[in-house]
Structure 1
Amino acid sequence: MTTPPHAPQPETPPVRQPEAPPFPQPAEPAEPPPGPAARPDPAARPDPFAVVADAVDGMRDELAALGDQFRRRLLNDREVRRSLDGLLTELDHAHQAAEGRVVQPLLYDLVLLVDRIERQAAQDDSFVGSVAAELLALLEKYGMTRIPVTRSPFDPETQEAVGALAALSPEQSGEVAEVVRHGYRMDARIVRPQQVRVYTER
């Protein structure tokens, strides 16, 4: 049995798919026109004069602050110095008061002791004389010095006249003839005047 030949089938036209819209392509940067290289904008750079002016202003502020600090420190130092001077003055006054109440009477007693020792030393006792010299050194250590013996006109500021001797000449009148008792001073103060005999006219 023979099969009949296939009858030709009608061709169906292909279905056309809708075309997708094209994606926009990024625009390429426009090339700069040929010519010299582009220079930076002068307005975008900092002004060197402005930079220097700012630095100078900062230094000026720092110097002003340092000057104020120095002046405050100087005033404080002056106040401290003034207070210290006041304390030293009070201490000196207290020292002088204590010296007048305690030290001077003790030194005066030592002076009287030296007087008695020197009278004893007049008998050629070398040991007593050395003791008197040591006492005089002790007095000088505490500021008590002996008024020097001089052949000079009588000085009522440092001397006390306790006797008179006849002058051998008019020029000798008023001069110190001899020292009866030694005098002592402490700094500028006369603790005990020097007792002397004075030449007078006949």
Structure 2
Amino acid sequence: MSDERTRSGQGSAERPREEEEHAEELRVTDRRRFTEDGQRREDVSEEGITPVDEGTEKTARPEMVPRSEAEQWERRALDAEAKIREITDAYRHHKTELDRARERLERDQRSRVLEALARSFLRVLDALDGLEMALEHSREGESPLAEGVRLVHRKILDALAAEGLERIEVVGETFDPELAEAVATVPVEDEKDVNRVIREIRPGYRLEGRVIRPAQVHVGIAAAKTDG
């Protein structure tokens, strides 16, 4: 009997120790942010874990880069900078060449357009020459018909001027072979009229500064002196 009591007492003493060990194995961390009565717990963060005191964290020291490695990175940076300059210079050069090519193309296109306009204007100017000759002959006896023709002539000139056509004024100016064609010479007494345009036979025109038809004129020359 005494042996059974002894074994029974030992068994009852071992059970609490086993229960305590088992309780330690099943221990869990309470991560609830609020207590059962609805109070917020201060020892639990928003993520449900106990916040760590920043003062307890070990401050990490910056890692020192070896001198040889730093020099290597510096060389790489210099090489990259030189490459960027090279690419930038090449881009600027190609952009300049492209701009010049575009300007040449625009000039060529504009030149072709002006040439086509000039050919069209010359046909109109030939018709205007006929109108002007008719108006010159009708000055002595002015008539309503001549007045109407003169009005039409003026409207045509205004329309051509709106398109960039400009009449060249040469009478009284020094003769310029770039602007006029001398079809005859006229002796003049005044030396100031020598090599000046005395009379215009056919008007000249230019389009945007380019002469498309030179004027036909008479140019003054010094009159021959006779012995008195």
Is TM more than 0.5 here?
Answer: yes
Q: Are 1:164 and 1:197, in contact at CA under 8 Å, matched by a contact in 2? A: yes
| 2:211 is equivalent to residue 190 of structure 1 | yes
| 1:92-132 deviation line (CA, Å, top 9, x unaligned) | 334424543x3221121232233344445664446325413
Q: How does 1:137-148 map to 2 (within 5 A)?
A: 137-140=161-164, 144-148=165-169
Kept in 1, the 8 Å contact 2:114–2:207? The answer is: no
Please list, as runs of the form range in 1=range in 2, the aligned pairs for 1:1-202 lying within 5 A after superposition.
58-59=73-74, 61-97=76-112, 99-100=114-115, 102-119=116-133, 123-125=146-148, 127-140=151-164, 144-187=165-208, 189-200=210-221, 201-202=223-224
Provide, for residues 122-180 of structure 1, a one-character-per-residue CA deviation record: whole Å limited to 9, x for no partner.
6444632541332332341xxx4322234133223322223343423344333221212
| Root mean square deviation of aligned Cα | 3.6
Cα contact 2:170–2:200 (8 A) shared by 1:
yes
Q: TM-score, normalised by structure 1?
A: 0.56
Q: Secondary structure at the match of 1:153?
A: coil
**Distance in 2 between the 1:88 and 1:46 partners?**
58
Counterpart code for 1:92? R
CA distance in 2, matches of 1:138, 1:155: 26
* Counterpart contact for 2:174–2:197, Cα < 8 Å: yes
Count of aligned positions: 153
Q: Distance in 1 between matches of 2:193 and 2:173?
A: 10
Q: CA deviation at 1:65?
A: 0.8
The question of whether the paired residues in 1 share the 8 Å contact of 2:200 and 2:218 is answered with: yes
CA offsets 1:51-108 (integer angstroms, 9 cap, x no match): 78865763553243133123123213422432442344245334424543x3221121
User: Are residues 135 and 116 of structure 1, via their aligned partners in 2, closer, same or farther at CA, if it must alter by over 3 Å?
Assistant: farther
Structure 2 runs not aligned, ≥5 long:
1-60, 137-145
Normalising by structure 2, we get a TM-score of 0.51
Q: Which has the larger radius of gyration?
A: 1
Structure 1 residue ranges without an equivalent (≥5): 1-44
Mark the CA change 1:80 to 1:155 in structure 2 (over 3 Å): closer, same or farther: closer
Residue 160 of structure 1 contacts residue 193 of structure 1 at CA under 8 Å; is this kept in 2?
yes
| Whole-angstrom CA distance in 2 between matches of 1:172 and 1:134 | 32
Q: Which one has the bigger helix percentage?
A: 2
Matched residue type, 1:93: D
